[in-house]
Amino acid sequence: MSVFLSSLGFGLITAAVLAIATVGFTMQFAVTNVLNLAYGSVMINSAFVTYYLNLHAHLNAWVAMIGGVVTGSVASYLINRCIFTPFQRRNLPPITIVIVALGVDLCGTFGLQAIVGGSYFNYRQSPGRQWHFWGMYFSTLQLTIIGIAVVVLALVHWLLKYTRLGKAMRATSANMNLARNSGVRTQMVISTTWIISGALCGLAGTVFAMDTGVFDATSAQLYIVLLLSAMFLGGPGEPYGAMLGAVTIGVATEVSAGFINPQYKEVIAFVVLLGMLMFRPYGIFGKEKTL
Amino acid sequence: MSGDLSTAGQILRATGLSAGYDGRAIVHDVSVEATPGKVVSIVGPNGSGKSTLLKSLVGVVPVLGGSVSVGDTDITNMTPERVATLGVGYVPQIDDVFPPLTVKENLDIGGYLLPRHEVAARIDSVLEFFPRLKSMMSRRAGKLSGGERKMLAMGRVLMLRPSVLVLDEPTANLAPLVATQLLEEYIRGFAEKGSTVLLVEQRAKAALRVSDWTCVLGGGRIVLQGPPSELENNPMFVESFLGGGASRR
Ligand SMILES: Nc1ncnc2c1ncn2[C@@H]1O[C@H](COP(=O)(O)OP(=O)(O)OP(=O)(O)O)[C@@H](O)[C@H]1O
Ligand SMILES: [Mg+2]
């Protein structure tokens, strides 16, 4: 029981990080139609920008995080602008973009490794005191990450449901031509989506590194497996599904890691993903794209 | 009937228009003109290029030759979002709503170009027109029946306060009575209050009844056109569309 509860605690933190990441990833997929496999490399690059601001510019890690968020945002916008859009214009089949994204991911990860080297890094940040509830242990740092996730998810909900931009994003996702016929400038909506989802990606990268504690250039390389599992679990293109999928995958991987070798986390996530694809290819809630 | 929903029309004109997909023309050398206060309809067999013609007018399909204008503005190959800003409302034949969005959100997007403070009042006027939608504002459009969905599609386009309405088979899948009401009361009503209406209609008889001018499209070309009274008596039209002359009124 105590192993279960303490791993449940870990699961909630993993879930919080994953939820931020998955919501951005799903938003990208739903609105821009790009399955951006380079997401993990943008995450880790953003985490490193936070690291440099934290260590070399001597900023508090939470302040330095703003740099990571901006990096994710700008990098995602530029990757779309300079790489994905030119390929999309040529009317190539969607699989082409997936392969291009995979290439961008490798360049992003190993390019970063070429710069920072193969060693391990950590932020100059104290995890704060330990809190103890119902058999679960959390540091102040971890509670803050969970708090950030809750606030971010609420903001995304507000954006999509109540703002003009959010409705335009959902309309673009659902029926791009009809959105244009209604006067929505869909290209601008898509660029804005890259900027917002990129910010979520940068934020996710930084809190991921904070939560991991010690990280290197390749730390987020397998993260895409968790992202895909969480997204498919919730239904591709379903941001609310993504939130739930992230919690399920986060908790499932950590709780199982409490009992079997934690090395197999991604394998567990992948098994869940395979099961989902076999039995509910559109996720627990999804029918098709339903942003 | 169309009360405060109608807007003064503008002339929509295509001149020598060719359009198609991947650089290959499907519509050839078509000239049509729709004027305020009038309903112009387009009939023709399946695959004759009716939808392609409408799409090229509103910027969804590239114009390969000729020109399109609204009022004094040349809109040839203008993006659909800019065409919308000129007051041209278009309802496609398929994919005419945003399925995951609620009815209310569909109408909101329809009113995307309106000043924000006018959206709520405009939704009220549209709902007065399609009162059936009132009770389903928070339902997802994908869950509506075919007829409710068509009403929403019409409601969505009316939100824009269009001066020109371009409608691709607005009565498809509707019960005969509802179809007749939509055509003869609502759509006819918009024209009578001064809007411009260009309409594709499969059912030739219904098209003649509601239009001031009808074009027959065949193989992407206009093969015949004229006022209903003339077409009704044209042996070729009667032969192909009204069932061999038997159904004359
Ligand atoms: N996206 C497309 N790409 C290539 N060809 C197309 C496309 N859409 C339609 N066509 C072709 O263009 C021709 C005309 O199609 P269009 O949809 O304009 O016909 P239509 O008169 O509206 O027919 P219907 O009465 O069935 O709606 C058809 O031969 C069709 O196969
Ligand atoms: Mg058609």
* Residue A245: inside a domain: no
Joined tokens for residue A283: 């996720």
User: What secondary structure letter does DSSP report for B133?
Assistant: G
Residue whose CA is at the smallest distance from ligand 1 atom 18? B49
Tens of each residue's pLDDT in chain A, 291 residues: 577 777 788 888 989 999 999 999 999 999 998 999 999 999 999 999 999 999 888 889 899 999 999 999 999 999 999 999 998 888 888 888 899 999 999 999 999 999 988 899 999 888 888 888 887 788 889 999 999 999 999 999 999 999 999 999 999 999 999 999 999 999 999 999 999 999 999 999 999 999 998 999 898 888 998 898 888 888 777 778 888 888 888 888 887 877 777 777 778 878 877 877 777 666 655 555 444
Q: Best of B22, B60, B94, B109 to disrupt the A interface by mutation (most A CBs within 10 Å)?
A: B109
Nearest to A290 by CA among A178, A177, A153, A173: A173
Position A125 in a domain:
no
Residue A171 counted as domain residue: yes
Give B108 Cα–ligand 2 centroid separation in angstroms.
27
Quick: pLDDT tens for B180-211. 988 998 899 889 888 999 999 988 888 899 99
Is any Cβ of chain A less than 8 angstroms from the Cβ of B168? no
Question: What domain count does chain A have?
Answer: 1
List the single residue in A177, A184, A290 with the smallest CB-CB distance to B112.
A184
Ligand 1 pocket check: which of B17, B24, B43, B50 to mutate, most ligand atoms within 8 Å of Cβ? Answer: B50
Inter-chain contact B160–A178, Cβ cutoff 8 Å?
A: no
Interface touch B100/A168, C-beta < 8 Å: no
Q: Is B218 left (phi over 0), alpha (psi -120 to 50) or beta?
A: beta
Question: Domain B3-242 has what CATH class?
Answer: alpha beta
Residue A107 lies in a domain: yes
Q: Which residues of A touch B116 (CB under 8 A)?
A: 164
Residue A246 included in any domain: no
- Least Cα distance to A220 among A78, A153, A121 occurs for A121
CB B186 within 8 A of CB B154: yes
* Residue length of chain A: 291
pTM over 0.95: no
CA A252 to chain centre: 17
Q: Which residues line ligand 1 (CB under 6 A)?
A: B 21, 26, 44, 46-52, 93
A191 is a domain residue: yes
Is the CB of residue A178 less than 8 Å from the CB of residue B96?
A: yes
Q: Is B174 on the interface with A (CB under 8 A)?
A: no
Q: What ipTM was reported for this prediction?
A: 0.91
Cα(A143)–Cα(B31) distance, integer angstroms:
68
If you measure from the C-alpha of residue A20 to the centroid of ligand 1, how many angstroms do you get, rounded to a whole number?
A: 43
Distance of alpha carbon A33 from alpha carbon A74, whole angstroms: 19
Q: Which domain holds residue A148?
A: 2-113+135-221
- How many Cα atoms are found within 13 Å in the side-chain-facing hemisphere of A46? 32
